[in-house]
Structure 1
Amino acid sequence: MPMLLRLSYFLSEVATMVMDINEIREYLPHRYPFLLVDRITELTLGELIVGYKNVSINEPFFNGHFPHHPIMPGVLVLEALAQVCGILGFKTVNKLPADGYVYYLVGSDNVRFKRPVMPGDCLVLEARVEREKRGIWKFACRATVGGELACEADIICAERKVA
């Protein structure tokens, strides 16, 4: 294998990572029923994260939203997007909640819900870093189901030392 091709392969392997639920739990302080990310399928430090949430009828919010027509609350779709943003931030700066850090959702702009998210859906969560300055991160986010846009938003998170 030519040297340039080997280097290109190595760099692509380093730049793209995958996380299972056990590693996600290291990077998010959330726990059931508020942990809304099941897996990360793509992660490029400082740039992009893609993950998903498998939406089950057993989610506690479906008991009341709505009993005869269950729909995932839009604010929880937004929260799931914020959680992948937090993972990308933590991974990029090489910190963990166990180190006493947290990412707060401090704002959202241009939020639009385009389709309902229902039990059985696989909610794909994507966030791209638009900018970061002094621990304040702005992300362009999209949530899709089967390739169809469910939600889009600009999300602002703040990294803070809490302990």
Structure 2
Amino acid sequence: MQREEILSVLSHRYPFLFVDKIKEICYMESVIGYKNVTGNEPWVIGHFPEKAIFPGVLLIETAAQICGFIFYDQQKKNVLSNSYLSNVKNFKFLKLIRPGDQLEVRGQFITKAFNFADIKCEVYVDQQKVAEGSLRYYFENIPNEQEVNQ
């Protein structure tokens, strides 16, 4: 999935859009997506400009935006505007991320209960894990059990 389709699905826009490409979506199962960390992003000016490090909060936001595509049904072309990040659990930063790195974010559906769904997230740079944790999303309308089990 390229930029135009990503923009049609997510309501985020520059400077708060952190998805460059979605490689694979298995609806309600898994997702793989990418964010290219560049030296001309607004955070670089103030987050250790001599040795810029991608901020952890932006890494979590990147993971949340990409992992949210698990809930995107490519056949129905639904928009993800009815979901919100509601909880971040056990997120660990294992290595520094710098401009020039390409983040590969992998999300795996864990469970859902009521209007909440949990995703296990792992982030890689050059096939080395740089972060991991769990994300919980709140939905105004969550897909029903039949859709999950298809």
**Does the CA-based 8 Å contact 2:21-2:33 persist in structure 1?**
yes
Choose the corresponding residue for 1:124, options 100, 104, 110.
104
Post-superposition, which runs of at least 4 consecutive aligned residues in structure 1 deviate over 4 A? none
Tell me how far apart the structure 1 counterparts of residues 27 and 44 of structure 2 sit (CA, whole Å). Answer: 34
**Does the CA-based 8 Å contact 1:37-1:51 persist in structure 2?**
yes
Tell me how far apart the structure 2 counterparts of residues 122 and 141 of structure 1 sit (CA, whole Å). Answer: 16
Tell me how far apart the structure 2 counterparts of residues 85 and 134 of structure 1 sit (CA, whole Å). Answer: 19
Q: Which residue of 1 aligns with 2:36?
A: 54
Q: Which residue of 1 aligns with 2:139?
A: 159
Where do 5+ consecutive residues of structure 2 fail to align? 142-150
Cα deviation digits, residues 98-133 of structure 1 (max 9, x gap): xxx422110011110001110000010111000123
Where do 5+ consecutive residues of structure 1 fail to align? 1-18
**Does the CA-based 8 Å contact 1:46-1:92 persist in structure 2?**
no
Choose the corresponding residue for 2:56, options 63, 69, 74.
74
Considering fraction of residues, name the structure with more helix: 1
Q: Which residue of 1 aligns with 2:146?
A: none
Map 1:23-42; keep pairs closer than 5 Å: 23-42=5-24
Q: Which residue of 1 aligns with 2:92?
A: 112
Aligned length in residues: 140
For the residue of structure 2 that corresponds to 1:104, the secondary structure is strand
Tell me how far apart the structure 2 counterparts of residues 90 and 41 of structure 1 sit (CA, whole Å). Answer: 13
Tell me how far apart the structure 1 counterparts of residues 97 and 72 of structure 2 sit (CA, whole Å). Answer: 27
- Answering whether residue 109 of structure 2 is matched by residue 149 of structure 1, we say no
Which has the higher Rg, Structure 1 or Structure 2?
Answer: 1
What's the TM-score once normalised by structure 1's chain length? 0.81
CA RMSD of aligned residues (A): 1.6
Q: Which residue of 2 aligns with 1:13?
A: none
Cα deviation digits, residues 127-152 of structure 1 (max 9, x gap): 10001233311000011100111110
Q: Which residue of 1 aligns with 2:79?
A: 96
**Identical-residue share of aligned pairs (%):** 34
